[in-house]
């Protein structure tokens, strides 16, 4: 299906085909949707092309559901100057009736946005697309109730796990929209680009899985690293824990130190393993420990791998550079150069560094992202750009903020 924005004049330029997406999707079904290791894929679903939706001058009317959280605010920040998005609805049930700038004063100049409203008060027949930034386990019924013409990028975890039994195991409740789950496309943009372009529902990846799967996916797919013995030591800024108040996020609980959390039980673990298993073609298990560090945003994943016979760190680096050569947001650094979280702050970039380990046959991979941008709202807009048929870099070419 070819999708493009409706409006006068020429359609927006399409992003050029990325060689990496072609290589990655060779493992998947003919429709490009990720399937299980046996090759099964979800059936494609029919949805109304945006060329059939009455939007003016190449602009899609979008709703941001759950706009009072950090990821919702980032969607508004990035979307306010997006030439093809018109923010037509903002929801936050507990903040309904307030101006958006009353909840997020730093966005006082984003004046062309509506007041916050309750979800039940939104007329979704006037909406073309939606970013769903609601908490986990609250999204399934809401998305299932939306008109089928609305394209959705869901930033929660509710549609990331293909197996609903796995979802129940890790999130503690039955999946409320199992039929819709079959339609969802996992939105790791650089890997599943072709499937995302024709999707009605995109499951935006989690922040940790994004920082981990982007470097590991091509290496496992090309059998350059072994599936066993992968160790991931990841660190996130406090915004990764969300905006809802909690004792564990108080200043005195977070400042002047760091701590591990979700040890051997973090909910991103099955998502990471699902993606890496798709890459390898057989089940992959990892040792993953996340940590909270006293900074507002940023994420670093330090990944330890056993290389395949005859492979060196230079081999890994060259393979990643080749795989991501045409990608605008994934950059593999030269030998001896390693990424820092401050080098991606506020941007949609993923920076990757590779080093030989002192232990024979092992390598260390460092991957950094801004957890709120490439790890959430920036990747969501990148995916929505693909769904809408506009260049996927639109609205996302901000340089990192430093110092």
Q: Other C-beta atoms within 10 Å of 281: how many?
A: 15
Quick check: 236 and 292 in contact, CB under 8 A? yes
Angle between helices 70-79 and 378-388 (to 10 degrees): 50
How far is the C-alpha of 180 from the C-alpha of 178, rounded, in Å?
A: 5
Dihedral class, residue 316 (left if φ above 0, else alpha if ψ from -120 to 50, else beta): alpha
How far is the C-alpha of 322 from the C-alpha of 332, rounded, in Å?
A: 9
CA neighbor of 143 nearest in space, from 116, 173, 167, 119: 119
Domain edges within the chain: 19-205+375-388, 208-371
Tell me how far CA of residue 148 lies from CA of 48, 125, 145, 196, 200, in angstroms.
8, 10, 9, 16, 8
Question: Could you tell me how many helices (H) and strands (E) the chain has, helices first?
Answer: 12, 14
How far is the C-alpha of 375 from the C-alpha of 188, rounded, in Å?
A: 10
Write down the residue that tokens 């990841």 correspond to.
234
Active-site residue set: 207
User: Which residues make Cβ contacts (< 8 Å) with residue 117, sequence separation at least 6?
Assistant: 89, 90, 91, 92, 96, 97
Give 10-residue mean pLDDT values along the chain (403 residues). 38 37 36 40 40 59 96 95 96 91 91 93 96 93 96 97 96 95 98 97 98 98 97 93 78 90 94 98 97 95 98 98 98 98 98 98 98 98 96 96 92
Per-residue confidence (pLDDT) for residue 147, from 0 to 100: 96
Quick check: 337 and 317 in contact, CB under 8 A? no
Per-residue confidence (pLDDT) for residue 57, from 0 to 100: 53
How far is the C-alpha of 276 from the C-alpha of 294, rounded, in Å?
A: 29
How far is the C-alpha of 376 from the C-alpha of 379, rounded, in Å?
A: 6
User: Which residues make Cβ contacts (< 8 Å) with residue 89, sequence separation at least 6?
Assistant: 62, 63, 64, 114, 117, 122, 127
At 287, list the tokens: 């040792």
How many angstroms separate the most distant Cα atoms in the chain?
Answer: 63
Per-residue confidence (pLDDT) for residue 243, from 0 to 100: 73
User: Which residues make Cβ contacts (< 8 Å) with residue 314, sequence separation at least 6?
Assistant: 335
Q: What are phi and psi of 263, to 5 degrees?
A: -65, 120
* CATH number for the domain whose boundaries are 19-205+375-388: 3.40.50.720
At 339, list the tokens: 């990424």
How far is the C-alpha of 304 from the C-alpha of 229, rounded, in Å?
A: 8
Architecture of domain 208-371: 2-Layer Sandwich (3.30)
At 15, list the tokens: 């992003």
Per the DSSP assignment, residues forming a β-bridge with 290 are 234
The stretches of 283-394 forming alpha helices (DSSP H) are: 313-323, 378-388
At 242, list the tokens: 């969300």
Identical fold at 19-205+375-388 and 208-371?
Answer: no
DSSP characters for 139-180?
HHHHHHHS-TT-EEEE-SSTTT-S-HHHHHHHHSS--S-HHH
């Amino acid at each position: 299906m070819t999708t493009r924005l409706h409006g006068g004049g020429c359609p927006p330029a399409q992003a050029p085909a990325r060689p990496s997406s072609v290589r990655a999707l060779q493992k998947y079904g003919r429709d490009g949707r990720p399937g299980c290791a046996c090759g099964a894929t979800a059936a494609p679903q029919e949805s109304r092309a945006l060329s059939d939706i009455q939007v003016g001058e190449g602009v899609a009317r979008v709703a941001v559901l759950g706009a009072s959280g950090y990821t919702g605010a980032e969607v508004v920040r990035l979307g306010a100057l997006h030439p093809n998005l018109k923010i037509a609805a903002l929801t936050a049930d507990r903040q309904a009736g307030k101006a958006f700038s009353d909840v997020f004063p730093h966005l006082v100049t984003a004046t062309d946005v509506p007041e916050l409203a309750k979800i039940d008060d939104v007329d979704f027949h006037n909406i073309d697309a939606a970013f769903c930034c609601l908490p986990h386990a609250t999204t399934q019924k809401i998305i299932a109730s939306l008109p089928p013409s609305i394209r959705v990028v869901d930033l929660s975890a509710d549609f990331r796990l293909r197996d609903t039994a796995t979802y129940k195991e890790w999130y503690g409740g039955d999946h409320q929209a199992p039929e819709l789950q079959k339609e969802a496309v996992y939105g790791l943009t650089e890997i599943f680009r072709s499937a995302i372009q024709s999707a009605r529902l995109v499951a935006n990846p989690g922040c940790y899985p994004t920082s981990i799967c982007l470097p590991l996916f091509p290496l496992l797919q090309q059998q350059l690293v072994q599936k066993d013995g992968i160790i991931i030591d990841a660190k996130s800024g406090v915004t990764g824990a969300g905006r809802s108040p909690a004792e564990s996020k108080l200043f005195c609980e977070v400042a002047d130190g760091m701590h591990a959390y979700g040890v051997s039980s973090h909910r991103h673990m099955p998502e990471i393993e699902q993606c890496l298993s798709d890459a390898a073609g057989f089940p992959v298990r990892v040792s993953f420990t996340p940590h909270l560090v006293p900074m507002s945003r940023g994420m670093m994943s330090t990944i330890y791998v056993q290389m395949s016979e005859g492979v060196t760190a230079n081999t890994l680096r060259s393979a990643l550079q080749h795989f991501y050569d045409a990608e605008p947001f994934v950059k593999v650094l030269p030998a001896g150069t390693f990424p820092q979280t401050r080098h991606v702050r506020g941007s949609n970039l993923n920076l990757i560094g590779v080093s030989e380990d002192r232990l024979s046959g092992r390598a260390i991979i460092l991957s950094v992202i801004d957890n709120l941008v490439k790890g959430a709202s920036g990747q969501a807009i990148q995916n929505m750009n693909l769904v809408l048929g506009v260049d996927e870099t639109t609205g996302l070419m901000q340089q990192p903020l430093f110092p």
